[in-house]
Amino acid sequence: MTATPTPAAAPTPTPAPTSAAASAQAAAPARALPANVAALALGDDALVLSHRLGEWAGHAPVLEEEVALANIALDLLGQARVLLSLAGDEDELAYLREERAFRNLQLVEQPNGDFAHTIARQLYFSTYQTLLYGQLASGESELAPLAAKAVKEVTYHQDHAEQWTLRLGDGTAESHERMRRGLDALWRFTGEMFQPVDGIDVDFEALRESWTASVTAVIERATLSVPDGPQSGAWTAGAGRQGLHTEPFGRMLAEMQHLHRSHPGASW
C-alpha cells in the first residue's frame, strides 16, 4: 500500500521500503502507520462494545430496549468494519488477533453488569465518541468520511444513554442506587479516553473538558453526582490502547472468536 502523506503527519518517520527489507516487513510496518493506529484504536472500540451490547440479546429488561441496544450494537459493528478495513483485513483483525494486539479502551470491554451499569458505560463512551467523531468529521484525515456518517449514529446513542440516565437516576430509590453504582464503578476507566492516539489530530485535553462538562450536566440533571475518584487505576502500567486489558476481556474474546477459529474460512 502507498503511504498517503497527511498534512498533520506525526513525527514518526515512515521508513521508505527498501527492496531488501520490503518483503520481510511488508505486513507488519504497514500497520504502524499513524492512520492505521488510529483506525485500529477506534475500530477495536466499536467492535468490542458492539459485542458487549450484543450480549443483551435475549436478556434485555423489555423487548423494546433489546431492539434499541441491538440497533446501537449494529451501528457500532458497521463502524468497526469500515475502520478495521482501513487497517487491514477485517476478519483477520477481528477473529485472529490475541488479546494483547487489541487497542480498544478498557472501558468498552467491561462486562454489561445490570442495565444501569450498561447505561453508565454507554453514557461515558457515546459522549466521547460524539465529541471525537464531530471533530474528525470536520478534519481532513482519512477518517473524516466515516466520522461524518458515524457522528449521526453516535449522537443517537448519546441521546439514548442520556434519556436512560435521567430516568434511572431520577426514578425510584432502587434505580437511583443502581445508576450511581454503575457510574462509580466505571469512572476509573474514563481517563484513558483522553490519551492522545497516533494519527488522530485532535486536542485531547479540550476533548476532556467538553466531555466532563457534558457528562456532568446529565449526571446532575439525573439527581446524581459525578464520581470523585481517580479516572484511572493507580496500578495500571498503561491501558487498552497499549494492549493491556482487564481480565474479563479474555473470556469475551474467546467467545467472540471461537467459531472462526474452530472453523477457519467457514461461510454460509
Binding site for another protein (CB under 8 A): 61-65, 67-68, 71, 159-160, 163, 167
Output the smallest distance, CB 171 to another protein, in A.
Answer: 9
User: What spatial distance separates the first Cα and last Cα of the chain, rounded to whole Å?
Assistant: 30
The CA distance from 160 to 162, in Å, is: 5
Q: In the chain, how long is the greatest CA-to-CA distance? A: 68
Nearer to another protein, 34 or 169 (CB): 169
CB 67 → another protein: shortest distance, Å? 5
Which CA distances in Å does 37 have to 100, 118, 218?
14, 27, 32
Q: Which lies closer to another protein via its Cβ, residue 61 or residue 229?
A: 61
d(CA 146, CA 80): 10
Nearest to another protein of 71, 210 (CB atom): 71
Question: What single letter denotes the amino acid at residue 121?
Answer: R
Alpha helices in 138-203, H assignment, sequence order = 144-169, 173-187
Cβ nearer to another protein, comparing 27 with 63: 63
| Ramachandran angles phi, psi of 34, nearest 5° | -50, -40
73: helix, coil or strand? helix
Whether the CB-CB separation of 157 and 151 falls below 8 Å is answered with no
Radius of gyration in angstroms for the set of CA atoms belonging to the chain, rounded to a whole number: 19
Shortest reach from residue 191's CB to another protein, in Å? 30
Residue in this structure with the C-alpha cell 465529541, named with its chain if needed: 131
Q: Which residues contact 211 (CB under 8 A, 6 or more apart)?
A: 127, 128, 131, 193, 194
CB of 72 to another protein, least distance (A): 9
138 vs 163, which CB is nearer to another protein? Answer: 163
> In this complex, which beta carbon is closest to another protein, that of residue 87 or of residue 168?
168
Among residues 174 and 203, whose Cβ is nearest to another protein?
A: 174
Minimum distance of another protein from residue 42's CB (angstroms): 24
Neighbours of 241 (CB within 10 A): 22
Closest contact distance (angstroms) between CB of 68 and another protein is 5
Nearest distance, CB of residue 94 and another protein, angstroms: 24
